[in-house]
Amino acid sequence: MSQKELQYVDAVNTTSDNEGWLILNVTGPLTSWVAFPSSNLGLYLSVHITHRTGHEIRPEELGIVGEKGEKQKQPFMVAFFKVTGHDNVHVRRTRDTGRNRNKKADSESSYPRNPLYDSSMNWSSRSCQIQTLYVSFKDLEWQDWIIAPEGYHAFYCSGECNFPLNAHMNATNHAIVQTLVHLMNPQTVPKPCCAPTKLSSISVLYFVDDNNVVLQKYKNMVVKSCGCH
């Protein structure tokens, strides 16, 4: 039996405390499988620790759910196909005759694109993510009864939940389905909303009256992470 060579498909960086889905772009092998079904040998997931690429570890050791894990957490693939009226799969697209395109646009045009993916969007700055917000109790005119702290970093969530929902968006399954429905028919439902997924508390020292001071912990005051809901 001849030895099969592994071909690189995609990679994603994550942390040990990350929760949620990890998204990989498998357009390349999927296109090949549709055109040549016999070439479908499956996908192999290789997990490495940063700066120790030569040492491979089992995905289960890092909490990555495999085929023996919970059913609702099994990996899945989302694919979009454009019906062209032909049986063959077009891998290359017609070249643009314009001379002012840069090299990046040239290279990207050689691959089939998802028609629902807007590559002109700046996902890094517009996608759902945590933003800085400092709340000053003096600005709220609460300084007369709050002794400490003078303020705190509350943070807030802002951004769009556009397709595809990346791993850092901490999207719920409902949000993923809602995004797909919105893509098919924007008039039916809106996009999912960017909202806090984790919150933490702060302690506040304040006057109850002229003679009594209370130290109390208030829950859900600080945004720790954001996600699409």
Q: Say what the pLDDT of residue 156 is.
A: 95
Q: Is residue 111 pLDDT above 70, yes or no?
A: no
| Residues 44 and 6 sit within 8 Å (Cβ to Cβ) | yes
Q: Is residue 137 pLDDT above 60, yes or no?
A: yes
Query: Over the stretch 26-85, which tens digit does the pLDDT of each residue have?
Result: 888 888 888 888 888 888 888 888 777 677 888 877 778 777 777 767 777 777 666 555
Percent of the chain scored above 90 by pLDDT?
19
Rounded Cα distance between 180 and 103, Å, is 31
For the chain, report the end-to-end CA distance as a whole number of angstroms.
49
Q: Say what the pLDDT of residue 53 is.
A: 66
CA distances from 111 to 27, 90, 105, 107, 154 (A): 9, 9, 11, 8, 44
Q: Is residue 124 pLDDT above 60, yes or no?
A: no
Q: Say what the pLDDT of residue 17 is.
A: 75
What's at 195, amino acid-wise? A
Q: Say what the pLDDT of residue 125 is.
A: 56
Q: Is residue 103 pLDDT above 70, yes or no?
A: no
Residues whose CB is less than 8 angstroms from the CB of residue 113 and which lie 6 or more positions away in sequence, other chains included: 93, 119
Query: Over the stretch 173-187, which tens digit does the pLDDT of each residue have?
Result: 898 888 888 888 888
Mean pLDDT (the chain, rounded): 77
The listed range with the strongest mean pLDDT (62-71, 90-99, 212-221) is: 212-221
Q: Is residue 24 pLDDT above 90, yes or no?
A: no
Show the domains of the chain with their CATH numbers: 1-79+81-115 (no CATH), 120-229 (2.10.90.10)
Which of 110-114, 144-148, 171-175, 176-180 is the least confident region? 110-114
Tokens of 228: 């699409």
Which of 38-52, 79-93, 94-108, 181-195 is the least confident region? 94-108
In which residue are the tokens 């609460």 written? 142
CA distances from 205 to 51, 64, 103, 185, 212 (A): 45, 43, 59, 51, 11
| Reported confidence tier of residue 195, pLDDT bands at 50, 70, 90 | very high
Tokens of 101: 């395109």
